[in-house]
Amino acid sequence: MKTRIAVLAVAAALGATATAADAATLKISCASGLDGQLCRQATAQWAKNTGNEVEVVTTPTDSNALLALYQQILASGSDKIDVLMIDVVWPGILANHLIDLRPYTGGAEKQHFASMVANNTVGGKLVAMPWFTDAGLLYYRKDLLDKYKLKPPTTWEELTAAAKTVQDAERAAGNDKLWGYVWQGRAYEGLSCAALEWVASHNGGTVVDATGKVTINNANAARALSTAASWVGTITPKAVLNYGEEEARGVFQAGNAVFMRNWPYAWSLLQKPDSTVRGKVGVMPLPRGGAAGRNAATLGGWQLGVSRYSKNPKLAAELVAYMTSAEVQKMRAIKGSFNPTIPALYQDAEIIKANPFMATLSSTFSSAVPRPSAVSGAKYNQVSNQFWNASHDVLSGKSDAKSALARLEFSLKRLAPAGNWK
């Protein structure tokens, strides 16, 4: 009897448990790598709690490739995916294909950062719940900077000089695989994030401003892109032109770079027992563009939404509620250094112990620079595509910064005649 009461109590605490007859199978998209493993772990727990099944759809790594896949699936009204992981820049692009979660959340969104809930609200609909947040960070090798008595750099000029000093000295001593600085230079969404940081940190704006005006064709932006281009082949391997996040991390984690630009997820992987650089890495804000510049980290992050074409929208919304809950966010923060979207979790001692940077760099996260997705709405991906291509042309030496930005301004303006992005 006692056992039976206990079982019922557990079932009640977990919410509705499906009976065999009404159990359903939901499909969710999860990333690859540790992100994907933790995603699977949480969905498996939910399936066990509720008596339903969850199938994980593995998705492409590049964010823009995932968007293309979603657009193809959703345009045909397919129910191939019920729960979608949604990049912070997509609510305006995908809103029409997602259900309003508000009737299902029981107000849970109020626990999350208000700016993220606002970002995910399109035309009054809450199209996705915040899952984790991101900001670009500078990772550096504490041991190598100490060895050469260098301070962590606060401007890009200091970073360039420090990277060169360490790279030259180490190579002369036989460490010939060492590079100064690795980052994301492939022609994809990740380059738009890195390039926005260079431009914004030189006071060159955010490509399109909040009023819809195209601002990218300016001297500070040109200086920012020229500076980055000057790294390629000097302190940065030419192969960076095809690096995403994981390629940069691979080089840095193998001990072959002094500095790396990456998102928070890299932290937990760099600290794994088999990591060459475990215990040797510091994290700090990305540098300012000269003394007059500012620290700029691009705002990233992922949400979970439910497809309008799902046959089980209510159940899918329940899965989203579980996956974005404080419990799952805490697990993902500790095991995978994914920044929570629930402010209260930044007071959690276990989370901060695993990720000290979440406390020390709180202003980097709170002042992260959004990409111009709110203003460009459904056209954001075209804006970004043009921006990453222009940046790639400058990095690869195909174009100088000034003419690339003049052309970019011209084609962006064509996307929004008279500054109208609707």
Q: Enumerate binding residues for ligand GLC (CB under 6 A).
A: 63, 87-88, 134, 189-190, 193, 245, 263, 300-302
- Write down the least CB distance from residue 8 to ligand GLC, Å: 41
Q: Taking the CB of residue 154, how many other CB atoms lie within 10 A of it?
A: 15
* 135 vs 216, beta carbon nearer ligand GLC: 135
* 47 vs 368, beta carbon nearer ligand GLC: 368
- Write down the least CB distance from residue 56 to ligand GLC, Å: 18
* 192 vs 256, beta carbon nearer ligand GLC: 192
- Write down the least CB distance from residue 190 to ligand GLC, Å: 3
Q: Both tokens of residue 133?
A: 């947040």
Q: What is the DSSP string of 126-146?
A: E--EEEEEEE-EEEEEHHHHH
- Write down the least CB distance from residue 35 to ligand GLC, Å: 9
3-state helix, strand, coil in the chain (%, to 5): 50, 15, 30
CA-to-CA distance for 393 and 399, rounded, in angstroms?
Answer: 5
* 181 vs 263, beta carbon nearer ligand GLC: 263
- Write down the least CB distance from residue 384 to ligand GLC, Å: 9
- Write down the least CB distance from residue 292 to ligand GLC, Å: 28
Contacting residues for 38 by C-beta, under 8 A, at least 6 apart: 331, 332, 335, 336, 338
Q: What is the DSSP string of 226-249?
A: HHHHHHBTTTB-GGGGG--HHHHH
The three-class DSSP label of residue 303 is: strand
The three-class DSSP label of residue 121 is: strand
- Write down the least CB distance from residue 245 to ligand GLC, Å: 6
* 63 vs 203, beta carbon nearer ligand GLC: 63
CA-to-CA distance for 337 and 116, rounded, in angstroms?
Answer: 19
- Write down the least CB distance from residue 89 to ligand GLC, Å: 6
- Whose CA is closest to 411, among 207, 203, 193? 207
Burial class (CB in 10 A: 0-12, 13-18, 19+), 150: middle
**Exposed e or buried b for every residue in 330-362, given b needs 16+ CB within 10 A?**
bbbbbebbbbbbbeebbebeebbebbebbeebe
Give the residue nearest to ligand GLC (CB): 300
* 170 vs 189, beta carbon nearer ligand GLC: 189
* 253 vs 298, beta carbon nearer ligand GLC: 298
* 189 vs 247, beta carbon nearer ligand GLC: 189
* 223 vs 371, beta carbon nearer ligand GLC: 371
Identity of the amino acid at 320: V
CA-to-CA distance for 250 and 229, rounded, in angstroms?
Answer: 22
Burial class (CB in 10 A: 0-12, 13-18, 19+), 57: middle
- Write down the least CB distance from residue 300 to ligand GLC, Å: 3
* 185 vs 289, beta carbon nearer ligand GLC: 185
- Write down the least CB distance from residue 87 to ligand GLC, Å: 5
- Write down the least CB distance from residue 401 to ligand GLC, Å: 22
The three-class DSSP label of residue 11 is: helix
- Whose CA is closest to 103, among 325, 392, 331, 321? 321
Q: Taking the CB of residue 212, how many other CB atoms lie within 10 A of it?
A: 16
* 204 vs 300, beta carbon nearer ligand GLC: 300
